[in-house]
Structure 1
Amino acid sequence: MGNYHLLEIEFENNGQKQTITPVLLQDDRDLILVDCGYPGFIPQLEEAANRYGLTLASITKLIVTHHDMDHIGSLAALKRAYPQISIVAPELEAPYIEGKSKSLRLEQAESTLSVLPDEAKSQAEQFIRYLQSIEPIPVDQTVSNDERLPWCDGIDVIHTPGHMPGHISLYLPASKTLIAGDVVVIEHGKLNIANPQFTMDLPEAVRSVQRLLDYEIDQLICYHGGLFHGDVKQALRQLLREYAS
């Protein structure tokens, strides 16, 4: 059975401590990174991989769950440093990653600028410039809903839109593990929708949580929150009840 490793990366952002959890999937042929952090995160990724005796130079593929800056920020730099890495992304997300379409997060930030109070505009403009600085990168392979990828004992692609229209999660049937991306996050030990106030389509995001109940999940890994401890299906149902009320 293939192995997975959680790359917990702690850092400070605007004076606040944060953690993201990219994942490395490993078998005897491939080392696959799922999502890659903010711009400039290659040293942090390398340090996290080294904890497992692995290096970024051994990565063969990088799967992107969606085009938010904390998931693709280091994508172009990684490809430059390690050109053997094949970039794999959802078909619906590829135009944004490649720069053929404007980032939806950038469009969202620009659309709210005019309604912000003057004292908040400077920070918002800084955020817009940051989003504009994310470097586009060609996608080598696109994937779509219900596709099974043949690597690491099989990786099932689940289209989980809402947070972003093309967002995917990954299911590893051999270990009954779900790599959630941002379909759910862990906050104070509980599951929640990722940034509901910035989610592109909140009702769709809730439906995506509902869809996860179709899978037997023993381990749930959230990009924000890491490994969930507890009964996954019970926690998913509780989250759905909260959004149904």
Structure 2
Amino acid sequence: MNMCHLLEIEFEYSGQKQIITPILLQDKTDMILIDCGYPDFMPLLEEAANRHNVTLASITKLIVTHHDMDHIGSLAALKRTYPHIDIIAHELEAPYIAGAKKLLRLEQAQSTFNALSDEAKPYAEQFIRFLQSVEPAAVNRTVSNGERLPWCDGIEIIHTPGHLPGHISLYLPASKTLIAGDAVVIEEGMLAIANPQYTLDLDEAIRSVQRLLDYDIEQIICYHGGYFHGDVQQAIHQLIAQYKS
């Protein structure tokens, strides 16, 4: 039986309660983790996995939707502890994950630093140091748009750039489920663009959302928000309309 486990992880960051939702996909031969939280999140991942009677040691593959620190922060630690895990990411993301290129969020933070107020600079410096602390990890396999991975009844790669250039979402045709990553998030029960003020290319992010209408999606799981409850197609149309009005 193929299963999809939502690893809801609640924590405090910058004095605020937050929740992220990595995903575990399971079939008879593979256990696939999708994204892995901030640095030092392995104990939280293990606790969340144990709630579904799963251990991190059983993970065979780890798919990274993009290289933001809340998605790759524990990647190197997981690979170091469980070297059998194959790390999979879009071909555009691989150099950033592996440390061959500077993280784009780090470039973004450094390039805007001088324009900040004196009051804001200490927080920005702390954020920059945090980004610099993220450990790189080699990517074992790169994927591209439209590629169909054979595990768990098939996982289709959808390149959804905008948030970051190599961002991917995953479509599971057997259950008509979209694992969105940060292509969309849930805010107050509605689909939204993730942190539009920090999205590297907002127009491209909207085009990525529009491309989701090409898929027969009945369920969306967002990294920030979990399961979306409602009419998916209608919600996507409403989100696009917000930016076209």
Aligned pair count reads 245
Aligned counterparts of 2:52 and 2:130: Cα–Cα separation in 1:
32
Instruction: Report the Cα distance in structure 2 between the residues aligned to 1:179 and 1:2, rounded to whole angstroms.
Output: 15
Match of 2:7 in 1: 7
What TM-score do you get using the length of structure 1 for normalisation? 0.99
2:29 alignment partner in structure 1 = 29
Structure 1 unaligned blocks of 5 or more: none
Task: Look up the match of 1:117.
Answer: 117
Q: For 1:1-245, what aligned pairs fall within 5 Å after superposition?
A: 2-245=2-245
Residue 144 of structure 1 aligns with an amino acid whose one-letter code is S
SS at match of 1:40: coil
Q: Deviations over 1:184-211 (max 9, x none)?
A: 0000000000000000000000000000
Secondary structure class of the residue paired with 2:112:
helix
Instruction: Provide the rounded CA distance (Å) in 2 between the counterparts of 1:162 and 1:25.
Output: 25
Runs (4 or more) in structure 1 with deviation over 2 Å come to none
**How far apart are residue 239 of structure 1 and its match?**
0.3
1:24-48: CA deviations, max 9, x gaps? Answer: 0000000000000000000110011
Q: 1:2 deviation in Å? A: 1.8
Q: CA deviation digits over 1:194-240, x for unaligned, max 9?
A: 00000000000000000001111111000000000000000000000
Could you state the TM-score of these two structures normalised by the residue count of structure 2?
A: 0.99
Q: 1-side partners of 2:172 and 2:232: how far apart?
A: 15
Task: Mark the runs of 5 or more structure 2 residues left unpaired by the alignment.
Answer: none
Partner deviation per Cα, 1:5-60 (whole Å, 9 max, x = no partner): 00000001111110000000000000000000000000110011111110000000
Question: Percent sequence identity over matched residues?
Answer: 75
